[in-house]
Structure 1
């Protein structure tokens, strides 16, 4: 299937991790830079789901009914280190495996970027991006409900306010794990939001009734099994997957492609109407006005099967 062309989908957890005492080492590909990915994460100044401190990433991760806090850091040119910060916590094999899988997916470590870099080096719009941000991965959102929520919350508002809404949503309805007096938040589950009313969501600071309805409706679809990541991954191509998503109230083409790009990892996902993409192209080409859709299609003609990464790298010029 199209979205599997660049990924090692048959790897098991043992293929990319190894024990390091109580901690884990996770293998990184050659085209990877911890520094570049850390720098990208640091641009989110109001992020509620991870904390950056002294070159390390701290994040709460849930696996089924279990959850823990991890510290992710650079180890050497071949590995990142995942440290379970609460050393007295009993880490079950399932939680250990799930954390490793989450980090692997979050950093998109299964994608071979060598063909992308080869293509981009010859592309006038991308060649500077791959030099400036070499080793950057498409930092994703492994959880489908979280990815959809972020897309819905970000509709028709600027990025800064979207982060504010996300923080309100997380801190009202998510779960916090406490370590050394600090809170590390887990994103609200679909099961939690599915039981809420529009008034309850609005009281938490959500800006419009429609967005509240979309967040609840989508949660209910996930809880009752109508919508799932597995179902979307069965789509034969990105167009079919987009059709499955845009049938859902509150999800238009932009949100659908955002989800397919950041969660499903479909390389052809292309949020062509994204304002950030337009501004990035304008910035790179030093244009007086934002490009038209026709111009973007012309510029992206050589990106086949890499539209997602091309978009992500262009975004990085701005944030």
Structure 2
């Protein structure tokens, strides 16, 4: 797969290595391994970046798709996962002149805003991560996946697949007890699963709004989704570069670190610092996160 000049497999791999308790992919020998469900097939892929300007995608074992359309869907998934169709030159030009971002783009040049292409997974991850630290969030995610997802075995290794919305929609809060979430978060996940299963909430409906603010408003109308979660989903799943989780603790700590301040910035201060980030707020946030995660 051809990749843009402004892409570094190594930088993106480094990002993945910072999530040691991630359960939806494996890392080994500078390669990424993941199972991707497309229709009735679940191929397991290996991604490597030994050749400049290329990502090599290999299907493992007997999981090579039988349909050309499935192979194309996997390629499209990977392109979305790494946001490969995004032209980052305007972002880099803006960032190099920005006192906060210039160090970030020098340090992590070629990094992409790693996505969560599945809407249900993205919303679940946003809800799970509300008001808890990242380590515990990864633990809860693993509990959800290993209790209610499924896995395939390929070449002696287990590959987990995130639960489908249909799997969770018919459950009760008591059914989700193996996952150490609050009752409220269980209720939120079930309600979102029902909306998606019924077709009342889809990526297509959000994208068809054609406007970041309208998509944000649609998400905010859902119980359990506040501004942080809405912007997180718009950033990581819908790929809206104007999404800005301005209340994110990690963003605050990154700015504090870069400014060598003894306190976190106020929201007003962040708005001033981000005044030139227009239409690139999501990438600015993702790059600043990398100083911590």
- Class of the TM-score when normalised by the shorter of the 2 chains: over 0.9
> Equivalent residues in 2 for 1:180-199 (5 A)?
180-199=155-174
Alpha-carbon distance between aligned partners in 2 of 1:181 and 1:87, rounded to the nearest angstrom = 12
Q: How does 1:100-179 map to 2 (within 5 A)?
A: 100-179=75-154
1:66 aligns with 2:61: no
**2:176 equivalent to 1:201:** yes
User: Does the CA contact (< 8 Å) of 1:108 and 1:139 recur in 2?
Assistant: yes
Deviations 1:278-312 (A, max 9, x none): 00000011011000000000000000000000000
Distance 1:248 1:279, change over 3 A: same
- Contact 2:44–2:63 under 8 Å retained in 1: no
Distance 1:88-1:277 versus aligned 2 partners, 3 A rule: closer
Which structure has greater strand proportion? 1
When normalised by structure 1's length, the TM-score is: 0.90
Unaligned stretches of 5+ in structure 1? 1-25
The SS at the match of 2:153 is: strand
Determine the C-alpha separation between the residues in 2 that align with 1:140 and 1:207. 24
Aligned length: 293
Task: Say what the alpha-carbon RMSD is for the aligned residues.
Answer: 1.0
**How far has the Cα of 1:91 moved from its partner?**
3.0
- Following superposition, the deviation at residue 94 of structure 1 comes to 2.1
> What is the match of residue 229 of structure 1?
203
Partners of 1:94 and 1:237 lie apart in 2 by: 30
* 1:98 Cα deviation after fit: 1.0
Question: Secondary structure of the equivalent of 2:261?
Answer: coil
Alignment equivalent of 1:44, drawn from 10, 19, 31 = 19
Q: Which runs of no fewer than 5 residues in structure 2 stay unpaired? A: none
Counterparts of 1:10-89 in structure 2 under 5 Å?
26-87=1-62, 89=64
- TM-fit CA distance, 1:95: 1.6
- Contact 2:61 2:155 survives alignment (8 Å): no
Q: Deviations over 1:174-214 (max 9, x none)?
A: 11010132210011000111111110112x12321111111
Superposition TM-score, scaled by structure 2 size: 0.98
- Asked if 1:313 is matched to 2:290, the reply is no
The separation in 2 between residues aligned to 1:65 and 1:55, in whole angstroms, is: 29
Residue pair 2:11, 2:108 contacting (<8 A) in 1 also: yes
Q: Partners of 1:88 and 1:209 in 2: how far apart?
A: 38
| Residues 4-26 of structure 1: CA deviation (Å, up to 9, x unaligned) | xxxxxxxxxxxxxxxxxxxxxx1
Q: Distance in 1 between matches of 2:283 and 2:109?
A: 12
Residue by residue over 1:55-74, the C-alpha shift from the partner in whole angstroms, topping out at 9 and shown as x without a partner, is 00000001122111000001
Alignment of 1:169-318 (within 5 A): 169-202=144-177, 204-318=178-292
Which segments of structure 1 move beyond 4 Å, counting only runs of 4 or more? Answer: 87-90
